[in-house]
């Protein structure tokens, strides 16, 4: 079984993002970048399937400027076998990413695509579902449990209020939620080994896909900041404020 894992390079989740003064975007210069945490979970899940003998090959893919190759290298250091780097200088939104991935899937024909449920930068939560629609494959979003059974997968999905179990025919798309697993750290020998693993480069122009954005970002601004509140001196005062001033209890 061949598994494709799309990985995205995003601002590290520990960084406090700041809006640029000209309100065109958030500040991305000299900011620590990492693999999207949900994508790390996706890589880990693929590795576990390989370790169980279910999967035979794991390919990590990333799209963007040449820096995204670092993210592919991270996936290779965790244990993925090879990488695909789609060289693209334009800004992409999930619709375009899904189109690019559709084109790649039609070429390399994976049995399963495991990807993060959302990227923690634009918080779109869309690419996996869009890709499933374009390929006409089944989708199992927000996965917290995954079992492969013959030509099917059984997935526990995180829904509001609990877990929903579904069965999806392969090939399929799975998007990962937090509880699926805890990703491993890449060991130093594996980081060294990853440097020799192959990464194929594809130019996005060669795929002949319309990647013109459909959403124009007019402005990126700070959220309304909260007024600094007050310190109360006692539990009694707290209860009084919550009852009579805030009126929330």
Partner 1 sequence: MKTLVIVDHSNNKLEKSTLNTVKAGIQLENVDLLVLSDSCKDICNELIHIKNINNIFINENDAFKNQLAEDSANFIAENFKDYTNILFSNTSNGKNIAPRLAGLLDTMIIPDVIEIVDKQTFKRPIYAGNAIATCKSKNKINIITIRSTAFEEAEISHENVGEIKEIGSLTTNNLTKYLNSELTKSERPELTSADIVVSGGRGLGSAENFQVLEKLADKLGAAMGASRAAVDAGYVPNDWQVGQTGKIVAPNLYIAVGISGAIQHLAGMKDSKVIVGINKDEEAPIFSISDYGLADDLFKAVPEMESKLN
Number of amino acids touching partner 1 (CB under 8 A): 80
- Report the residue from 1, 17, 199, 209 that binds partner 1 according to the rule CB under 8 A: 17
- Report the residue from 13, 31, 66, 108 that binds partner 1 according to the rule CB under 8 A: 13
CB of 227 to partner 1, least distance (A): 8
What mask, x for binding partner 1 by CB under 8 A, covers residues 176 to 205? --xx--------------------------
Only one of the segments 56-64, 67-75, 165-173, 188-196 lies at the binding site for partner 1 (rule: CB under 8 A); that segment is 165-173
**Sign of the torsion formed by the C-alpha atoms of 217, 210, 9 and 36:** positive
Residues 39-98 that bind partner 1 (CB under 8 A): 93-95, 98
Q: Strand pairing of 152-159 and 138-149?
A: antiparallel
Among 9, 244, 30, CA closest to 119: 9
Other Cβ atoms less than 10 A from the Cβ of 191: the count is 15
User: Is 215 one of the binding residues for partner 1 (CB under 8 A)?
Assistant: yes
- Report the residue from 79, 83, 110, 138 that binds partner 1 according to the rule CB under 8 A: 138
Is the separation of the CB atoms in 117 and 234 below 8 Å? no
Is the separation of the CB atoms in 151 and 92 below 8 Å? no
Peptide bond into 171 cis (omega under 30): yes
CB of 64 to partner 1, least distance (A): 17
For 127-164, give one letter per residue: b (16+ CB within 10 A) or e: bbbbbbebbebbbbbbbbebebeeeebebbbbeeeeee
Structure tokens, 1: 């079984």
Is the separation of the CB atoms in 65 and 89 below 8 Å? yes
DSSP state of 191: H
Closest CB to partner 1 among residues 58, 204: 204
CB of 18 to partner 1, least distance (A): 8
CB of 141 to partner 1, least distance (A): 5
Q: What is the CA radius of gyration of the chain?
A: 21
User: Is 150 one of the binding residues for partner 1 (CB under 8 A)?
Assistant: no
- Report the residue from 61, 105, 158, 186 that binds partner 1 according to the rule CB under 8 A: 158
Which residues are within 8 A (CB) of 102 and not within 5 positions of it... i.e. 6 or more apart? 131, 134, 135
CB of 111 to partner 1, least distance (A): 14
CB of 213 to partner 1, least distance (A): 7
CB of 19 to partner 1, least distance (A): 5
- Report the residue from 7, 35, 84, 142 that binds partner 1 according to the rule CB under 8 A: 142
């Amino acid at each position: 079984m061949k598994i494709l894992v799309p990985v995205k390079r995003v601002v590290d989740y520990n960084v406090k993002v700041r809006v640029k003064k000209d309100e065109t975007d958030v500040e991305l210069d000299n900011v620590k970048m990492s693999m999207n945490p949900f994508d790390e979970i996706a890589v880990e899940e693929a590795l576990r399937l390989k370790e169980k003998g279910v999967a035979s090959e794991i390919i990590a893919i990333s799209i963007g400027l040449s820096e995204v190759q670092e993210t592919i290298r991270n996936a290779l250091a965790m244990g993925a076998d090879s990488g695909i780097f789609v060289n693209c200088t334009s800004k992409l939104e999930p619709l375009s990413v899904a189109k690019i991935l559709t084109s790649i899937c039609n070429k390399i024909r994976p049995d399963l695509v495991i990807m993060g449920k959302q990227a923690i930068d634009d918080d779109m939560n869309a690419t996996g579902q869009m890709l499933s629609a374009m390929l006409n494959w089944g989708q199992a979003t927000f996965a917290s449990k995954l079992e492969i059974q013959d030509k099917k997968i059984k997935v526990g999905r995180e829904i509001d209020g609990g877990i929903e179990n579904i069965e999806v025919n392969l090939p399929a798309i799975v998007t990962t939620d937090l509880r699926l697993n805890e990703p491993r750290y890449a060991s130093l020998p594996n980081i060294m080994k990853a440097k020799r693993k192959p990464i194929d480069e594809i130019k996005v122009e060669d795929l002949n896909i319309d990647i013109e954005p459909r959403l124009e970002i007019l402005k990126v601004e700070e959220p309304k900041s909260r007024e600094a509140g007050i310190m109360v001196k006692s539990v009694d005062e707290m209860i009084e404020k919550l009852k009579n001033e805030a009126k929330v209890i």
